[in-house]
A and B are shown apart, each in its own frame.
Chain A
């Protein structure tokens, strides 16, 4: 092992400020903040796209945007919210919280972690750069072939989509590999798998889903890209190809993807509810197994997205039953959350409000999901606003409520200041009311037959009143996030006393260290004997622990910062970016050269 000057320097030299320190950082906490900041910006962008869509649909026969732009808007709204919003917002918490909750000093592969972030950013930027070329993807977030083949989508729009998603897939796979190993291998001494905090458990299952589902979408995207670039016939019927295969490959990824979006939020809520109810999580083991069951049966239900393709009675029956079965473990979870709150000393702080809102909204989304697990019902509902209502209840009412609750809950740990409670409550109520005003009427217009993905509707259809309501609701939703932003800015600028290490009387190890944590997290790696490790320690010491002091971390081994992951990520971007608008050999080769340089210099860099 090569000895460098940095290796023996105290860790504070790593924590320098400035752009370069952020580009070279391998600290999981800083990478978490990078994920969070970028994802939040993408999330706001996706929100603006949604507001334009709502503006267009406020009244019949409007032409605020034309059909082409509308296609780009709903495609980019979906793609952005899923791949650039919810997934990286969850990744923010994976990064910041998994090592802290495990009692670890960093993730298993700190530089790979930085690589994941930079590749994610590259993919997100590439997708959005398409707007500048007036060629944003317009084939839906599902990109159904053969609509997306060269014949029907000759422009660069779909190229941005196939390439962007492949790049994002690499980022997700690298991150998932890292966190999978981290959770298995970096648990504090004594922390068994069945002692893991529930957020770590749900995140762990999410990593497994990412690892197994993303290769499939990668293959589908590669085949589509080859079709578009080299003229093969994987999804072109005239050459014997079958567009339905695209749907199978896509949804074989796409359904686990749904659980990738929701499981981290399940985890966050399972952290918040016990802390604000002053009771341990009800039915820990049942929660773990139901999460695992949801994930793995989730691999066997993909074709319920495809009842309308006509798969025959056997497949319809199988996928319908498998889908209904998933309602059972989900119900177990909901009962356990309610059981956790039941009889507790409930404190209605902002994170708790979001967690309770999550339960209510998610139940509604889950129930409408059970409705279209039945093929005859689904055939009526598919491609209508009923489906839009359903998945927004689970992904906004579920994932976003959970993530926002997590943001209020962990904000003091991440930034050392408590967000304002009053503004937080205002944010919650605006969001809850705005959300229901926006999405509840969609159930009704959907059942009345309003189709998705169509840029306008006729005046005779009687959809106008409810659409107006939805648009006003969406403005309230936008306002809720303005309040959130205001809260963030006000808190950051305020001169309030630094948050204590443990403002909520938390149960898990991240609350045992100062807020924000020092670079090495734990001066002494904790010993764990059971679940709710911090509550356990407090009980042993008679109720409370002394406020932890910031200590000198001299002698604690930390990985060196490195810019190589950034170089390697640039290589990935250039190599795959060469596929936009046809294949450009020299761009691929240049990208490969950068990538190889990045990887080799990374492999032989002294790690410290």
Chain B
């Protein structure tokens, strides 16, 4: 019996591939999420230019010869994009700190990550409010609905990522994130990077390509 019990120590960590269950799971989840965003992006692209009335995303000449001003604000979103890129950079530094047992680096970079994430969400809230005041409600036209749905779902994912990272930060602040548990941050970081790469796709597809 003692022999069996002894074998358990190994079994608890045993995986046939050597990859931790949670890491494999978060990657699988990310794969599944790819199809979720692919469906939203596909919908956006199929409906692009199909609306029956304005406002339009990009400046265009109407048939009556008048120019319709675009509603998208590229400088604002470029700023938001940079924030997300920064946060991805910061979170790898935080993870690297966690793996080396450098508590200062871990907490500092993690705070910076969360800070950037909050500002990104703030940017999006500002953007949406701004559009609303310019007369683009959720149901105004097909562009409005597809745009708000796609970027709104992305924003929701950012928010969930922020809740997750903040939870990890609280755990780290309590000193419960030693190097051997750095996987807890690694999987949150993977999700965070995924949210970032989705934005890397959305940014040109929605904002830059007319």
Q: Which residues in A have some Cβ–Cβ distance to B below 8 Å? A: 105, 108-109, 173, 176-178, 180-181, 184-187, 189, 191, 211-216, 218-220, 222-223, 226, 230-234, 238-242, 245, 249, 252, 523-525, 552, 554-557, 600, 603
Residue from A214, A223, A239 in contact with B43 in the complex, judged by beta carbons closer than 8 Å: A223
**How far apart are the CA atoms of A230 and B4 in the complex, in Å?**
60
Residue from A218, A226, A231 in contact with B149 in the complex, judged by beta carbons closer than 8 Å: A226
Find out whether the CB atom of A184 lies under 8 angstroms from the CB atom of B52: no
Find out whether the CB atom of A233 lies under 8 angstroms from the CB atom of B21: no
Q: Please, which residues of chain A bring their CB within 8 A of the CB of B17?
A: 184-185
**How far apart are the CA atoms of A196 and B43 in the complex, in Å?**
39
Q: Please, which residues of chain B bring their CB within 8 A of the CB of A218?
A: 36
Q: Please, which residues of chain A bring their CB within 8 A of the CB of B19?
A: 185
Q: Distance (Å) between the CB of A173 and the closest chain B CB? A: 6
Find out whether the CB atom of B16 lies under 8 angstroms from the CB atom of A185: yes
**With known contacts A239-B52, A239-B142, A557-B8, A211–B32 Cβ distance under 8 A:** yes
Interface residue range, chain B: 35 or more
B203 in the interface (beta carbon within 8 A): no
Residue from A108, A177, A240 in contact with B50 in the complex, judged by beta carbons closer than 8 Å: A240
Closest to B142 in A: A240
In this complex, which of A105, A181, A230, A249 has the most chain B Cβ atoms within 10 angstroms of its Cβ? A181
In this complex, which of A105, A109, A556, A600 has the most chain B Cβ atoms within 10 angstroms of its Cβ? A556
Q: Which 6 A-B pairs have the closest CB atoms?
A: A555-B5, A215-B36, A219-B39, A232-B145, A185-B15, A215-B35
Known: A185-B15, A218-B36, A232-B145. 18 other contacts (CB 8 A): A108-B25, A177-B28, A178-B25, A180-B28, A181-B25, A181-B28, A211-B31, A212-B31, A212-B35, A223-B149, A234-B43, A234-B142, A234-B145, A240-B141, A240-B142, A245-B43, A249-B43, A554-B1
Closest to B33 in A: A215
Q: Please, which residues of chain A bring their CB within 8 A of the CB of B51?
A: 239-240
Q: Please, which residues of chain B bring their CB within 8 A of the CB of A524?
A: 4, 7
11 pairs across A/B with beta carbons < 8 Å? A185-B21, A186-B16, A189-B14, A215-B35, A215-B39, A232-B145, A234-B47, A240-B52, A240-B142, A554-B1, A555-B1
Q: Please, which residues of chain A bring their CB within 8 A of the CB of B52?
A: 238-240
B131 in the interface (beta carbon within 8 A): no
Interface residue ranges of B1-32 to A (CB < 8 Å): 1-2, 4-5, 7-8, 11-12, 14-17, 19, 21, 24-25, 28-29, 31-32
**How far apart are the CA atoms of A105 and B15 in the complex, in Å?**
12
Q: Please, which residues of chain A bring their CB within 8 A of the CB of B28?
A: 177, 180-181, 211
Find out whether the CB atom of B21 lies under 8 angstroms from the CB atom of A109: yes
Q: Which residues in B have some Cβ–Cβ distance to A below 8 Å? A: 1-2, 4-5, 7-8, 11-12, 14-17, 19, 21, 24-25, 28-29, 31-33, 35-36, 38-40, 43, 46-47, 50-52, 138-139, 141-142, 145-146, 149, 167
Residue from A108, A216, A219, A252 in contact with B21 in the complex, judged by beta carbons closer than 8 Å: A108
**With known contacts A108-B21, A215-B33, A232-B138, A556–B39 Cβ distance under 8 A:** no
**How far apart are the CA atoms of A220 and B40 in the complex, in Å?**
9
**How far apart are the CA atoms of A220 and B51 in the complex, in Å?**
19
Q: Please, which residues of chain A bring their CB within 8 A of the CB of B16?
A: 184-187, 189, 191
Find out whether the CB atom of B4 lies under 8 angstroms from the CB atom of A219: no
Find out whether the CB atom of B46 lies under 8 angstroms from the CB atom of A555: no
Q: Distance (Å) between the CB of B50 and the closest chain A CB? A: 5
Closest to A182 in B: B21
**With known contacts A181-B24, A187-B16, A226-B149, A216–B39 Cβ distance under 8 A:** yes
Residue from A177, A187, A252, A600 in contact with B25 in the complex, judged by beta carbons closer than 8 Å: A177
**How far apart are the CA atoms of A523 and B7 in the complex, in Å?**
11
Find out whether the CB atom of A177 lies under 8 angstroms from the CB atom of B4: no
**How far apart are the CA atoms of A219 and B152 in the complex, in Å?**
13
Closest to A525 in B: B11
**How far apart are the CA atoms of A185 and B22 in the complex, in Å?**
11
Find out whether the CB atom of A245 lies under 8 angstroms from the CB atom of B21: no
Q: Distance (Å) between the CB of B191 and the closest chain A CB? A: 13
Q: Please, which residues of chain B bring their CB within 8 A of the CB of A186?
A: 15-16
**How far apart are the CA atoms of A556 and B7 in the complex, in Å?**
9
Q: Please, which residues of chain B bring their CB within 8 A of the CB of A178?
A: 25
Closest to B26 in A: A177
In this complex, which of A109, A186, A233, A603 has the most chain B Cβ atoms within 10 angstroms of its Cβ? A233
**How far apart are the CA atoms of A504 and B75 in the complex, in Å?**
71
Closest to B4 in A: A555
**How far apart are the CA atoms of A36 and B85 in the complex, in Å?**
47
Q: Distance (Å) between the CB of B91 and the closest chain A CB? A: 19
Q: Please, which residues of chain B bring their CB within 8 A of the CB of A555?
A: 1-2, 4-5, 8
**How far apart are the CA atoms of A524 and B10 in the complex, in Å?**
13
**With known contacts A184-B17, A212-B31, A223-B149, A241–B47 Cβ distance under 8 A:** yes
Find out whether the CB atom of B25 lies under 8 angstroms from the CB atom of A109: yes
Q: Please, which residues of chain B bring their CB within 8 A of the CB of A240?
A: 47, 50-52, 141-142
Q: Distance (Å) between the CB of B75 and the closest chain A CB? A: 28
